[in-house]
Every structure is written in structure tokens, then in C-alpha cells.
Amino acid sequence: MSVLVVGLSHRTAPIELLERTTLDPRAASELSSELCRGDHVIEATSLVTCNRLEVYADVSKFHGGVGEIGNTLAKVTGVPLEELTEHLYVHYEGAAVAHLFRVACGLDSMAVGESQILGQVRTALRTSQASGSAGRTIGHLVQNALRVGKRAHTETKLDRAGPTLVEAGLKRATELLGPLDQVRALVLGAGAMSGLAVASASRAGLASISVCSRTLGRASRLAASVGGVPVPLEELPSALAAADLVITCAGSAGYLVDRELAEAAQAARTDQPGRPQVFIDLALPRDVDPSIAALPGISVFDLERLGRDLSAEGLSEDLADVRVLVANEVETYLADQRAKEVAPTVVALRAMASGVVETELQRLGSRVGAVDPAVLAELEQTVHRVVEKLLHQPTVRVKELAAEPGGDSYAEALRLLFNLGPEPSGAVAGLPGELPVGVELAVQLDPDSPFTPSGTLDRSRGAL
């Protein structure tokens, strides 16, 4: 296994760049397929959410894999590689596994502990498996990540770790608008995130909830679930004027609420002149023109701003058990992989021993001539039992030792002692597992790679 992660998220990139790198499901699938057509990426899956774009890949070479992923990300997103690289992070082998497990648990989410990421990871895997870009290695890894994410939600206090983005937005709205039972809300969009927003708004006891969507049927079903009112898209201006709180989740191309529409809505709010209006923009790309925050009486909270609110909630106590669970699961997974990687060495040893036995039995037969079949059979069984007993303890022990950190050295020693040939190609020794933002992306293959053979960064060759 040589798993590599290259990506960017809300932790490393501004929201403007995340908007430009957002991919629809078809483009995300094509990204994975395009990577597998390269020379160094064997399997790949792409995880695209409102605040991250990541590629998980099984690669034959570290440098070549990083280079191919970086170039393909630039090609598919249309963002120049030079601009992307400042915000990309790279995780390799154990660090890659740990990162995916944290992501699946929601520990790396903007709303820490949210469970929506589990569905997004599952969808990414199914899409990649359907296209053939994800096979045994990536499939097994992601399935384990999903299992760890489920454990985190059922066995720890993760679900109580912090408020969701919607709840954080409602908290902000309460501060600016007063009691929510006197607030009129308008939700733009009728997808999964809109459903969460409508349900959260209903539980919060808002005075009224309207739902506006390009598809009136979907808006009607969502509004009916909470006793709300569906709004056709052509009636958006009047609905906007009537709303105190606007929650947007459409993620459309272009702003649904631009400055001109916001100004017109403000002018039409004659029933409550001067009453503040709050916009909670949960979409990426954004639905609301950020410049309307400069208008009198309007406040805008987008994903980036809400993320800052959530990060200040002080969640360390609730998350302590989750971090322990993830650390234990990562070590168990890596130990299992190390044990599996020694299997070819054990097979080679047993094959060599079997070959030696057969050769010596044939030599014996040629020297002693005809032998009673029963005696010959007993002789063969005896020799095989002796060899089996001699090999049993070393092969069992090498599997146990290989599961421990650094255990690959025992398998290598076995290959050297019995002259079993070179170790099968796999992980690249000496490379760092986690590379910080700003390191040089290995776009060029050796010898032009910015990494030295020891895995350290040669800064004389430039920074990413």
C-alpha cells in the first residue's frame, strides 16, 4: 500500500479559491478516472464537499504520484498549478490514513463532528468504484474510514461536540434579530442542505418558514414538512423583502441574491422599516453577493465566517475520546497492512523450501533406485513435516513482528537470509508521511524532484 492524499480545504484555502475548485459529481468522477490513466496512479477517488477537494490515491511512486495529481487538479479545476500549490497539503502512508479517518469522523470539518461527511465519503467511493478508478486498496481504506466514522458517532460524544453550521447561523440571527419566534425565514434551495436548514429552523421555533426553489415541486414538499410556504422562483424579490432571515443553500452558478436585488428588497420592507436583515449563506459557490453586507441593516454570514465561530466553541473535552479512537484505529489498520505486506515473503520462503524438498527427493530416488512406494511415501511425509516444523515458528513470528511499527525490517531480513530476491515494490522508504502547506509539489520526476533521497525538502529548488 502506498496511499497518497493531495488536497485543499477550508483550513488551507480561502473561500474564493474553494469556490473556483468546486466540482460537480461528473467532474469529480472524471478527475479520478483521468488520474488512473497516468503512469503512477493505480487507484483514486475524489472527495468533493462544500469546503474541501481531496484526492486519495494508491501510487507506484511518491514523486510521480504527487506530480500527476497536482497537474490533473489544475487541469480539471482550471486553476493554475502555481496558484493551487500554495494551499495544497500532502499526506503519505500512515499520515494519509490518519487524515482520512479524521475526515470521516468530522474532525476536519468546518462544523466539527457533523455527520454529513460520512454520506459524502460513501458517495465518493461508490462513484469511483462504479467508474473503475477505485479498487481493492482504496476501496478497503475508505470502507474502514466509514466504519471508524460510524464508531465515532455511536461510541463517543462526537454528536454533542458542537453546533452545526445552521445552528451557528441561527445563533447569530438571534443576536441580531431577537427571539426567533418573531422572525420570518426564507430558505433558498431544496436540496439536502436546505432540508437540514428547514428542519433546524423549525426546531428553533421561527415565526414562519418559506422555501424558494427553481423546482416548485421540491420546494412544496420541503415546505410542507414543517408547515411552511413554497415560493416560486419568480416571486423571490417579494419573498426576500418579507424575510428577516434568509438561509441560502442552492450553490448556483452566479449570485441568487446580488446587490441590486438586495437593495430592492430593503426598499420594499415598508412594514418594518429599519429592521435588520440577516443572510446565512451555506452554499459553495456562494449564493449571496458578499458586497451586500455593506448595505445598511444587512448582515451576511458565509461558510468561512461561521467556521470561525464554530472553531471557537472549545470542543476539546468532547473530542478527546474521538481522537483516541481514531489513533487506535489508525494503528490497527497500519498493523494489519504491515502484516499483509509480509505475506509475499512468507509465500516465497515456503515455495523455496518446497522446491528444495522436491529436488532432494528426486536426487535421492536417482541414487537409491527402486524403493517400496509405502516407504517412499512415508519418507516424503517425514521430510515435509521436518521442513514445516522448521518454518512454522519463523513464519508465525515474522507476521507478528511485521505488524509492529518498523516491522518491515524483519521481512527484509528474512528475504536476505534465505536469498529470496528483492522485496516487492511498495512504499517509498525515507519519505515523510505528512508534508506541510508550502512545500514544493513534486511535479518533475527524479532527479529534478525538490525532495532529497532522505525525504527532506531541498529548499534550494523552490517552494510550493
Domains of the chain: 3-161+316-330 (3.30.460.30), 165-311 (3.40.50.720), 342-417 (no CATH)
Between 251 and 256, the higher pLDDT residue: 256
- What average pLDDT does range 340-359 have in this prediction? 79
Which residue shows C-alpha cell 466514522? Answer: 149
With the CA atoms of 433, 438, 439 and 441 taken in that order, what torsion angle do they form, in degrees rounded to the nearest 10?
100
- Say what the pLDDT of residue 198 is: 93
User: Cell triple for residue 71?
Assistant: 497537474
Long-range contacts of 394-403 (CB under 8 A, 24+ apart): 394/349, 395/346, 395/349, 395/350, 398/342, 398/345, 398/346, 399/339, 399/342, 399/346, 402/338, 402/339, 402/341, 402/342, 403/335, 403/336, 403/338, 403/339
| pLDDT top residue among 366 and 124 | 124
**Range name among 81-90, 177-186, 238-247, 383-392 with the lowest pLDDT average:** 383-392
Q: How confident is the model at residue 46 (pLDDT cuts 50, 70, 90)?
A: very high
Residue 452 has a pLDDT of 30
Half-sphere exposure of 280 (CA within 13 A, CB side): 30
Beta strands 89-92 and 3-9, pairing class: antiparallel
Q: Which amino acid is at 400?
A: E
- Give the SS3 label for residue 86: helix
**Confidence band, pLDDT 50/70/90 cuts, at residue 4:** very high
Of the candidates 178, 171, 228, the one whose C-alpha atom is nearest the C-alpha of residue 202 is 228
The average confidence (pLDDT) of the chain is 83
One-letter identity of residue 20:
R
Q: What is the pTM of this model?
A: 0.68
* pLDDT, tens digit (0-9, with 9 covering 90-100), for 354-410: 888 888 888 887 887 777 888 878 888 888 888 888 887 777 777 677 666 666 677
CA dist., res. 389 & res. 374, Å (int): 23
CA atoms within 13 A on the CB side of 57: 35
Q: Distance of alpha carbon 439 from its chain centroid, rounded?
A: 21
Which of 263, 248, 253 has its CA nearest to residue 302? 248
Pick the more confident residue, 223 or 307. 223
Q: For residue 7, give Cα distances in angstroms to 20, 40, 84, 246, 298.
A: 14, 17, 9, 32, 34
For residue 457, which phi and psi values (nearest 5 degrees)?
A: -85, 125
Q: What is the DSSP letter of 451?
A: B
The cell numbers describing 446, all together, are 527524479
Residue 406's pLDDT is 66
Is the pLDDT score of 280 beyond 50?
A: yes
Q: Which helix (H) or strand (E) holds 280?
A: strand 277-281
**Is there a catalytic annotation at residue 50?**
yes
CA-CA distance, 349 to 420, in Å (whole number)? 7
Q: Which of 50, 105, 212, 249 is catalytic?
A: 50
The mean pLDDT of 207-222, rounded to a whole number, is 94
3-9 and 52-59 beta bridge pairing: antiparallel
For 287-300, what is the mean pLDDT?
Answer: 94
Give the residue, 100 or 406, on which the prediction is more confident.
100
Alpha carbon distance 382, 368 (integer Å):
18
